[in-house]
Structure 1
Amino acid sequence: MNDILDAILASDTSAADFAKLDLPESYRAVTVRKDEAEMFDGLSSKEKDPRESLHLDEVPVPELGPGEALVAVMASSVNYNSVWTSIFEPMPTFGFLERYGKLSPLTRRHDLPYHVIGSDLAGVVLRTGAGVNSWRPGDEVVAHCLSVELESSDGHNDTMLDPEQRIWGFETNFGGLADIALVKSNQLMPKPDHLSWEEAASPGLVNSTAYRQLVSRNGAGMKQGDNVLIWGASGGLGSYATQFALAGGATPICVVSSDQKAEICRRMGAEAIIDRNAEGYEFWSDEQTQNPREWKRFGKRIRELTGGEDVDIVFEHPGRETFGASVYVTRKGGTIVTCASTSGYQHQYDNRYLWMSLKRIVGSHFANYREAWEANRLIAKGKIHPTVSKTYPLEQTGQAAHDVHHNRHQGKVGVLALAPEEGLGVRDHELRAQHLDAINLFRADAGPQARSETRAPATAERRAA
Structure 2
Amino acid sequence: MNEILDAILAPDTTSADFAGLTIPESYRAVTVHKDEAEMFAGLESKVKDPRKSLHVDEVPVPELGPGEALVAVMASSVNYNSVWTSIFEPVSTFGFLERYGRLSPLTKRHDLPYHVIGSDLAGVVLRTGPGVNAWGPGDEVVAHCLSVELESSDGHNDTMLDPEQRIWGFETNFGGLAEIALVKSNQLMPKPKHLSWEEAASPGLVNSTAYRQLVSQNGAGMKQGDNVLIWGASGGLGSYATQFALAGGANPICVVSSDQKAEICRKMGAEAIIDRNAEGYKFWKDEHNQDPKEWKRFGKRIRELTGGEDVDIVFEHPGRETFGASVYVTRKGGTIVTCASTSGYNHEYDNRYLWMSLKRIVGSHFANYREAWEANRLIAKGKIHPTLSRTYTLEETGQAAYDVHRNLHQGKVGVLALAPEEGMGVRDEEMRAKHLDAINRFRNV
TM range (shorter): over 0.9
Output the amino acid matched with 1:261: K
Q: Indicate the residue corresponding to 1:129 in structure 2.
A: 129
The corresponding residue for 1:5 is 5
Partner of 2:416: 416
Amino acid at match of 1:81: N
The aligned counterpart of 2:344 is 344
Deviation at 1:403, TM superposition (A): 0.2
Aligned to 2:56: 56
Equivalent residue, structure 2, for 1:396:
396
1:149 positional shift: 0.1
Please give the secondary structure, in 1, of the residue aligned with 2:92.
coil
Indicate the SS of the match to 1:274.
strand
In 2, the alpha carbon distance for the partners of 1:248 and 1:391 equals 29
Matched letter for residue 30 of structure 2: V
Q: How does 1:248-397 map to 2 (within 5 A)?
A: 248-397=248-397
CA deviation string 1:295-349 (max 9, x = no partner) = 0000000000000000000000000000000000000000000000000000000
What does 1:66-105 correspond to in 2, within 5 Å? 66-105=66-105
SS in 2 for 1:435: helix
TM-score calculated relative to the size of structure 2: 1.00
For this pair of structures, how many residues does the alignment match?
A: 445
Q: Structure 1 length normalisation: TM-score?
A: 0.95
SS at match of 2:267: helix
The Cα shift of 1:380 comes to 0.1
- The amino acid across from 1:382 in the alignment is G
How far apart, CA to CA, are the structure 1 residues paired with 2:149 and 2:261? Answer: 40
Residue 184 of structure 1 corresponds to which residue in structure 2? 184
Q: Deviations over 1:81-131 (max 9, x none)?
A: 000000000000000000000000000000000000000000000000000
2:430 alignment partner in structure 1: 430
Distance 1:242 1:406 in 2: 22
Return the letter of the residue paired with 2:379. I
What amino acid is the match of 2:169?
G
CA distance in 2 between counterparts of 1:166 and 1:415 reads 23
Determine the C-alpha separation between the residues in 1 that align with 2:111 and 2:87.
19
Structure 1 match to 2:138: 138
CA deviation digits over 1:266-299, x for unaligned, max 9?
0000000000000000000000000000000000
Match of 2:222 in 1: 222
Distance 1:24 1:48 in 2: 35
What is the CA–CA distance in structure 2 between the aligned matches of 1:25 and 1:188, rounded to whole Å?
23
Counterpart Cα distance in 1 of 2:262 and 2:133: 46
Residue 241 of structure 2: SS of its match in structure 1?
Answer: helix
- Please state how far the C-alpha of 1:137 moved relative to its aligned partner: 0.2
Q: Percent identity?
A: 89
Q: Deviations over 1:183-217 (max 9, x none)?
A: 00000000000000000000000000000000000
DSSP-derived class of the 2:183 partner: strand
Give the secondary structure class of the aligned counterpart of 1:296: helix
Verify the 8 A CA contact 1:390 1:444 in the aligned structure 2. no
Structure 2, gaps ≥5 residues long: none
Q: Structure 1: give runs of 5+ residues left out of the alignment.
A: 446-465
Q: Which letter maps to 2:384? A: I
| Mean CA deviation greater in 184-193 or 40-49 | 40-49
Question: What displacement does 1:42 show?
Answer: 1.2
Give the structure 2 partner of residue 407 of structure 1.
407
User: How much does 1:444 deviate?
Assistant: 4.3
Alpha-carbon displacement from aligned partner over 1:112-157 (angstroms, at most 9, x marks no partner): 0000000000000000000000000000000000000000000000
Deviation at 1:25, TM superposition (A): 0.4
Counterpart residue identity of residue 275, structure 1: D
